[in-house]
Homo-oligomer: A and B are copies of this chain.
Amino acid sequence: MRSYHLSPGAGIDSLTMVEGPEPRPARRQILVKVAACSLNARDLGIASGAYPSPLKPLVPLSDAAGEVVEIGPDVTRFVPGDRVVSCFFQAWPGGRPTPAAASSALGGALQGVLAEYVVIEEDGAVKCPEPLSLEEGATLPCAAVTAWHAVAEYGDVRAPDTILVLGTGGVSVFALQIGKLLGARVVALSSSAAKIERLAALGADICLDYGADVDWGRTVAARTGGGVDHVVEVGGGATFANSLAALRSWGKVSVIGGVGGAGTINPLAILAKRANVQGISVGSTEMAERLCAAIAAGGLRPVIDTVFPFAEARRAFAHLQRRDRLGKIVINLDQGAP
């Protein structure tokens, strides 16, 4: 079977298709014929070396959807033929994360899923929500589970809460959609008029162009009558102070990423706002299951920016670097056969 190898730190040009033997599932594992994968900012970080991976070469990517074609001994959660989605962490079934969980990420600590066949743990996979295609299912493991963890699990968001999402990356768009599913009001920020239109179409109640507004935190606070209940913070040091300014007293901030660039804060700003700030790193299999049930029940459809064929994985990685995208980038394994 074919898979891709990446040399972590050597950039996306090191991505190479290789041929190898089909793996076999051991006890409590399943063999999945991968139909689609999706990419996350973290995958670029692994390629560039910003995030370390101990594996050289590495099969990249954490996000896959496909069909179970074989099950190992003692598997109880799946049968062959099931449509499944991988979980980012292979060893975080539920409850509090353990050190073992932290070192079980696909496409990083463990070999990833950009391959025609992959073996994953049965408790490191969930059923693909019925209404979704496998291309759509492949968008869930990292970005959607992170957004669900932030908004629904940690955030405990429900009507009448207001959440703030920054930009149009995968986590932010999923957070917007999940917020609407839970009855929350959503404030969405972008610096592109075209994207703002799309965010509004996805259900955002208030859309603001923060490109020209260096004080956008105060603007959000003013527009929401005192601040939002929860900020889904993907910007990092460059945006954190404004995110705190946008928050109501005793509100919550999910710290998820640093796409906005460097910057520092005075930790007493957290005290001044009586904020609760939580670092969020994807989530557990249990969270993925609740997300999938909510997607199935609520009719959420993942937003896909572009689909690339398997043969053009390198182009998919390159596309992820573009600023004009909105939603997820998918690689379809059924396309691109020579």
| A interface residue numbers (CB < 8 A to B) | 26-28, 73-74, 76-77, 93-97, 99-100, 102, 152, 156-160, 181-183, 185, 226, 233, 236-237, 240, 249-250, 255-258, 262-268, 270-281, 284, 286, 290, 293-294, 296-298
Q: Which residues of B contact A250 (CB under 8 A)?
A: 96-97
Bound-state Cα–Cα, A255 to B266, Å: 11
Q: Which residues of B contact A240 (CB under 8 A)?
A: 267
A183 adjacent to B271 (CB under 8 Å) = no
- CB contact under 8 A between A284 and B96, given known A271-B279, A298-B183: no
Chain B proximity of A293: nearest CB distance (Å): 4
B270 adjacent to A277 (CB under 8 Å) = yes
Set B28, B226, B236, B293: member contacting A268, Cβ < 8 A: B236
Set B96, B271, B293: member contacting A160, Cβ < 8 A: B293
A182 adjacent to B158 (CB under 8 Å) = yes
Bound-state Cα–Cα, A152 to B73, Å: 36
B290 adjacent to A279 (CB under 8 Å) = no
Bound-state Cα–Cα, A270 to B270, Å: 12
B265 adjacent to A258 (CB under 8 Å) = no
Bound-state Cα–Cα, A255 to B44, Å: 34
Bound-state Cα–Cα, A257 to B264, Å: 18
> In the complex, given contacts A99-B226, A182-B182, what are 11 additional A-B residue pairs having Cβ atoms less than 8 angstroms apart?
A157-B158, A159-B181, A160-B290, A236-B267, A237-B267, A262-B266, A263-B266, A264-B264, A272-B279, A276-B278, A277-B277
A95 adjacent to B284 (CB under 8 Å) = yes
- CB contact under 8 A between A255 and B267, given known A94-B93, A159-B294: yes
Bound-state Cα–Cα, A240 to B250, Å: 20
Q: Which residue of B lies closest to A285 (CB)?
A: B95
Set B74, B226, B255, B296: member contacting A271, Cβ < 8 A: B255
Chain B proximity of A225: nearest CB distance (Å): 10
Q: Which residues of B contact A276 (CB under 8 A)?
A: 276-279
B160 adjacent to A286 (CB under 8 Å) = no
Chain B proximity of A286: nearest CB distance (Å): 5
Set B96, B274, B284, B298: member contacting A280, Cβ < 8 A: B274
B96 adjacent to A93 (CB under 8 Å) = no
Chain B proximity of A275: nearest CB distance (Å): 5
- CB contact under 8 A between A258 and B268, given known A28-B28, A158-B182, A182-B182: yes
Chain B proximity of A281: nearest CB distance (Å): 5
Chain B proximity of A44: nearest CB distance (Å): 16
Bound-state Cα–Cα, A294 to B99, Å: 19
Q: Which residues of B contact A266 (CB under 8 A)?
A: 236-237, 262-265
